[in-house]
Structure 1
Amino acid sequence: MAKKALVIGSGIGGLAMGIRLQSLGFDTTILEKLDGPGGRAYVRKIDGFTFDMGPTVITVPHFIEELFALERGQPCLSEPDFPPTILGDDKRVKEGTSGGPHTSRYVQIVPILPFYRIYYDDGSFFDYDGDPASTRAQIQALAPEDLEGYERFHRDAKAIFERGFLELGYTYFGDLGTMLRVIPDLLRLDAVRTLLGFAKKYFKNPKMQQVFSFETLLVGGNPMSVPAIYAMIHFVEKTWGIHFAMGGTGALVRGLVKKFEELGGTIRYHAEVAKINVVRENGKKVARGVTLAGGEVLRADLVVSNGDYAHTYLRLIEPQFRFWNSDPIVKARRQSMSLVVVYFGFKADGSEATKLRHHNIILGPRYEELLRDIFGRKILAKDFSQYLHVPTLTDPSLAPPGHHAAYTLVPVPHNGSRLDWELLGEPFSDKILRFLDERGYLPGLMNRLVHKSFVTPDYFEHTLNSYLGNAFGPEPLLVQSAFFRPHNRSEDIANLYLVGAGVQPGAGTPSVMMSAKMTARLIAQDFGIADIPSHELEAESAREPLAAE
C-alpha cells in the first residue's frame, strides 16, 4: 500500500513537489488555503482581464520540461541535472516555442526579447537581451568607458555560473562541512563580496552598475548585500533566455495541476492548515499529518510545507517540538522586502509598444539610497523604482479586445516597518499610475483606465501567511545562503520537509523547482525509494539532531 504524503500550499514549489512525490510512489494530497492554485502565482480574473498576481519571469525551461516528463514510479532523480543537450542551444532563447515536447502537452511557452527594457530616470534605456554583440553596442552608446570592463565581467560571471549553478546548484547543504568545502572556490571567484560591489569592479558608469545588479530584486535580494554569486543570474538568463507562458503564469500553474492530477494526486482548496501534527515515536519527534482550520485531522507518513518558512515553524508547529527552529532563531532571520503590486486594465491607443516591452524595469532617480530606504531604514520613500509587466503585448487574450492588462510592482519595506497600508495603499497606488501617465510611459493612462486593484504587504502577511509580509522568504544574504539558509529537511522533526522560496536554494521560479527536486532526493533517501547520486547529498548527518530538546 502506498504511503501518504501531504503538501501544504499549491505554489509552484508545492505543485512541483506534489508531482515529484507522485513519481516517487506516494499518494499525495496538496492542501491550499485559497480557492484556487498558485500561492504567490495565484490568478485574478476581473472585468474581462486576467492578472497574474505573482511571478511572471520564466527561465530554464528544462526544469519545467523535466516535471512534465515524470511518470508514476519513475522519479528520474539520478539523471544529470544539466544534460549537455540543454546547454548552448541559442534557438531556445530566440526562436519559436521553447518548452520541449512534454511541456507542449500542457502549456505553450514562448521566448521574450528583449528580456527587459531598463529605463533610467533621464529617459534613456537599455534593452537587455543576453546577446553579447547587442550588449556591447548598447554599452558603447551609453557608457563606452565600460566596454573593457564588460568583457572582464562576462568572463568572471560565466565562471561563477559554471561553478555556482551548473556544478553546485543542486547541492544540498545539510551540514557545515559541505559549506566549508566550497568556500575556497567562492573566495577564488570573488563571489562572497556584495553583488553591487562586484559590479563596481568592472563598471565605472552607474547605469551599467545598475543593469548588472538589479536582477536580485526580482528574488527579494538587495544588490548592496546579496553575495556576488548571484552574478550567475546574468548567465542563467543568457543561457536559457526569458520565457512567457501563453495565457500567463497561471497557464503554467494549471498545467502543473493537470500533471499532478494525471499522476493520481489530489488537491483540496479552502483547506488552510492550522497545525502540523507531531507525535513521539521511539524517542523521536515525527510528523504524522495535519489539522485543518476547521478541525479536520488528516494523517500521513510525511508532510512537506510549501508555506512560508517562518510561518511554518512559528504558527504550525508547537514550540515544545522545536529546538533548531525555535522562536528566537526563526525570528532572527532577516526577511526579504515586500511589494506593492498594482493590477490595471486600460484602453489601448496603439502607442504602447513604441515605448514599452513585455518586461520593463523603470529605475528611479536614486539607486543605492533607495535600497537603503527599503532594506535598512524601512521607510516609504517619495521616489520609487518599479517592474512594469505588460503581457498583452505578447498575448492579447489576457484582456478584452482593444485593451491591455498590466501590473506594476514596487519594492517596499516589509511589515516590520509598521507602515499603515490601510491608509497608504490607495494614494500610493494612484501615485504609481500617475507616474506612468505623466512621465510618458503610458500617456493618458488615467483617462484610459478601466480597472485598478492592488495588493500591499498586508496581502502577503494575512492572505499568503507570509511572516512580516515578506514577498520572497528570508533575505538572500551571505549568512542566509547555502547551509545557513533554512533546510529542506527539518532538523527538529522526522518526516517533515520544506520546499519553496524560503529554503535551499532560494527564491525565484527556477529555484523553487530546484528546491522540489532537492527535497524529493532527501525523501527518497530517507524512505529508501531510489538511489541518489552521492554528490547530491554530501556528508549528511541528517538524523542526529532529532533527539535534541
Structure 2
Amino acid sequence: MTPTTLSPTHPRRKTAVIIGAGFGGLSLGIRLQSLGFDTTILERLDGPGGRAYQKRTPDGYVFDMGPTVITVPHFIEELFALERGAAGLTTPDYPAQVLAPNARIKAGDSGGPRTRDYVKLVPILPFYRIYFDDGTFFDYDGDPENTRRQILALAPDDLAGYERFHADAQAIFERGFLELGYTHFGDMGSMWRVVPDLLKLDAVRTLFSFTSKYFASPKLRQVFSFETLLVGGNPLSVPAIYAMIHFVEKTWGIHYVMGGTGALVRAFVQKFEELGGQIRYGAGVDELLVTDDRGRPVRRPLGRRVARGVRLESGEALHADLVVSNGDWANTYLKRVPAPARLVNSDLRVKAARQSMSLVVIYFGFRKDGEDLGLRHHNIILGPRYEALLTEIFGRKVLGQDFSQYLHVPTLTDPSLAPEGHHAAYTLIPVPHNGSGLDWSVEGPRLVDRVLTFLDERGYIPGLRGRLTHQEFITPDYFEGTLDSYLGNAFGPEPRLTQSAFFRPHNRSEDVKNLYLVGAGAQPGGGTPSVMMSAKMTARLIAQDFGLHPDLLGEGVKSAAD
C-alpha cells in the first residue's frame, strides 16, 4: 500500500500524529494545533475518550466508563482559551487568580468563561462520603472546620495530629504541585536537585506511613490516604508527596460536568476540530515507522533513530513530522516500536516495571422508590481490612474475601443520565491486574454478584436486586483487550517512588527522535489533572525540539532548580 503523507494545510506547518483520543491525546492535540501543527488523532475505538469513553445504552442510560472526579478547573479553562498561534506555554501555570483565597467556587457554575462556552461544570459537596465497615461515615469536603468537627466526634485525640498533617501536606502541595508539578525530569540532574527538598518535607516515605505519623485512628489513616487508589497507587507504597492530593482538592474543589465526563471529552473534540485538527476513529495503530537518518530501516539499537509516522492495522501508512503516543506506555514500546530501535525502553526494562492494579467496574441502573438513598455523588465504601486488602491486590495479586469500592451515583446531581424515575450508577472495585492469572470469565461474575448483594443487604441501596433494570460490567480483560493496556493495568505504571519523576517513563522518548508520550503512563502520572499537565509538558518539549519557542529553556518545561 502506498504511504500517505499527512499534508499540512499550510506549506510551512509541521504535521503530527497522536495515537489515542483520551484526555492526554485530546489535550495535547489542542495544544499542538495552537502551536501551529497540523494534527491528526488516531483512535482505535469508535469514539473518543479512551478510558473516559462514555456508553449510551438502548434502554436510556448513560455511563461514564472511566474518570468521574474532575479537579483543578483552571486546567480545563486554559485549554478552551487556546487559539491557533497562541500556545499558552509561557504564561504562568498557576495564575494569581487561581491561587486566591476565593478561587474555589462553592456553589453554582464553577467553570471559567471559556469553559462555559462548551460545558457546564458544577461543584460537588461533599467531595466524598467515606463509609467505614461499621456503618459510620466521614464527609470529606475540604472545609477545615467541618473536618475538625468530624475528627472531634470520631477520634478527638487526633485533632492535634490533623493540624500538623494539614500544615505539612500544604508544604508538600506548594513545593510538589505548584512549583514542581510541570517539571519534566529528563535527566538525573533534574532529579537530584529536588531530592533535598523532598527529604526535608518527608515526602519520600510511603503515604500510609506519613499519615500514620499524625493519626492514631485507623479510620483517619484511611481517610487521608485512600485517594491514591483513584490514580492507581497503593497507599502502602506511593511516596508521601501524594499527600498533595488533599490540598489539590481542598484548594480547587471537586467538580462534575453536566452530561457526564463524556460531555467534557466531546467538548475537547469540538475545540480540537475548531482549531483545525482531525480525528479518525476505528484507526488502530499497528506499528511506528522508524528509520535511521537516511530513511533506512533500523536493524540494531545503536545510532540515530527517527519516527517518521505510523502504520495502521488496516495496512495504511501515514507519514508525519512527529508521533505522540497517548496509549499504554508498555505496549507502545513492546508492540509498536520496532525492537531494534529500542535500547532504553527494552523488553527487559518494560516488562520489569510494576504496573498499577486493575479494576472491576459494574454499571447498573435501578428504579427509584421515593426514599433518600443516603448516598452522595461520590462514595467510598471501605471493607473491614485496609492494609491486608491492599497487600493482596498489589502484592500477592489475589482476590480476598472482602473488598472496598468507589460507588458513583451521578444522577443525584444530573438526572439526565437515566430514564425518568431511575438512577444510573457505577461501582469500581480495585483488583489485581492480569499478572495474577485469574480467570475473569469465572471470577468476574462471582465478584459482581457479591458486590451487588453487599450493596443490597448492607442497606446502601435497599432492595437493589428487585430494582435493577440494567447491569453490565468490565474486568481487567477489558483493559487488556479493548484498551490495549499491558497486563490489563488500569492506570499505567504503578506510581511507586522508584517509578516517579525521573524514574517514570519520559515524555520525550530516549530511543526514537520525534517520538513523544503523553497521558497517565508518562510524567507526571495518572489522574485527569496530571494527564492535562502531561499534555502541557509534552507540548513544551515539542516546541523546544522544533524551535517554536526559544524562550523555553532546558527541558522546555520548568527547571527543577526553580
The TM-score bracket by the shorter chain reads: over 0.9
Paired residue for 1:286, among 306, 326, 335? 306
Q: 2:149 aligns with which of 108, 129, 137?
A: 137
Distance 1:91 1:82, change over 3 A: closer
Query: What does the per-residue CA deviation read over 1:250-295, in whole Å, with 9 as the maximum and x for residues that have no partner?
Result: 0000000000000000000000000011011155211011000010
Distance (Å, rounded) in 2 between the aligned partners of 1:498 and 1:531:
22
> What SS does the corresponding residue of 1:268 show, helix, strand or coil?
strand
- 1:336 aligned onto 2:356: yes
1:324 aligns with 2:344: yes
Q: What SS does the aligned partner of 1:92 have? A: coil
Could you tell me whether the CA contact under 8 Å between 1:287 and 1:302 is conserved in 2?
A: yes
Q: Aligned letter for 2:325?
A: S
Deviations 1:314-334 (A, max 9, x none): 000110000000000011110
Q: State the TM-score, normalizing by the size of structure 1.
A: 0.97
Of residues 409, 414, 419 in structure 1, which corresponds to 2:438?
419
Partner of 1:486: 505
2:24 to 13, 22, 35: 13
What secondary structure sits across from 1:44 in the alignment?
Answer: strand
Cross-structure match for 2:198: 186
Higher percent of residues as helix? 1
Contact 1:90 1:239 in 2 (8 A): no
**Is the alpha carbon distance of 1:384 and 1:98 closer, same or farther for their aligned partners in structure 2, counting shifts above 3 Å?**
same
Which residue identity does 1:392 align to in structure 2? T
Secondary structure of the structure 1 residue equivalent to 2:186: coil
5 Å matches for 1:366-381?
Answer: 366-381=385-400
Per the alignment, residue 60 of structure 2 pairs with: 48
Distance in 2 (CA, whole Å) between partners of 1:324 and 1:223 is 29
Residue matched to 1:272: 284
Whether 1:501 aligns to 2:520 is yes
Which position in structure 2 is the counterpart of 1:168?
A: 180
Contact between 1:525 and 1:531, CA under 8 Å: does it hold in 2?
yes
Who is 1:33 aligned against? 44
User: Structure 2 unaligned runs (5+)?
Assistant: 1-10, 295-302
* CA displacement at 1:73 relative to structure 2: 1.0
- Which residue of the partner structure matches residue 546 of structure 1? none
**Match for residue 255 of structure 2?**
243
CA shift, 1:539, in A, is 10
**Distance 1:321-1:536 versus aligned 2 partners, 3 A rule:** closer
Between the two proteins, what is the percent identity of the paired residues?
Answer: 72
**Aligned alpha-carbon RMSD (Å):** 1.1
Partner amino acid for 2:417? Answer: L
Residues 539/189 of structure 1: CA separation in 2 closer, same or farther (3 Å cut): closer
Deviation at 1:119, TM superposition (A): 0.1
**One of 152, 176, 183 as aligned partner of 2:164:** 152
Q: Which residue type is aligned with residue 243 of structure 1?
A: H
Contact 2:392 2:398 in 1 (8 A): yes
Q: Which runs of 5+ in 1 are unaligned?
A: 541-549
**Distance in 2 (alpha carbons) for counterparts of 1:536 and 1:57:** 30
Number of residues paired by the alignment? Answer: 539
Contact 2:183–2:558, Cα closer than 8 Å, also in 1: no
Select which of 318, 326, 348 maps to 1:298.
318
Paired amino acid for 2:529: P
Amino acid in structure 2 at the alignment position of 1:324 = V
The one-letter code of the counterpart of 1:26 is F
Matched residue SS, 2:401: coil
Which of 206, 210, 222 does residue 198 from structure 1 map onto? 210
Please give the residue correspondences for 1:300-315 in structure 2 after superposition, counting only pairs within 5 Å: 300-315=320-335
Q: CA deviation at 1:179?
A: 0.2
Does residue 383 in structure 1 map to residue 395 in structure 2? no
Counterpart amino acid of residue 450 in structure 2: K
Other structure's SS at 2:104 match: helix
Structure 2 distance, partners of 1:383, 1:424, is: 14
Runs of 4 or more, structure 1, over 4 Å off, are: none
Distance in structure 2 (CA, Å) of the matches to 1:350 and 1:192: 49
Q: Does 1:261 align with 2:281?
A: no
Shift of 1:90: 3.4
- Do structure 1's residue 471 and structure 2's residue 476 form an aligned pair? no
Instruction: Check conservation: 1:93, 1:242, Cα contact below 8 A.
Output: no
- Which SS does the other structure have where 1:145 is aligned? helix
Q: Which of the numbers 449, 457, 469 marks the counterpart of 2:476?
A: 457
CA contact 1:77–1:532 (8 Å) conserved in 2: no
Query: Residue 221 of structure 1: SS of its match in structure 2?
Result: coil
Match of 2:226 in 1: 214
Give the secondary structure class of the aligned counterpart of 1:372: helix
Indicate conservation of the 8 Å contact 1:192/1:478, yes or no.
yes
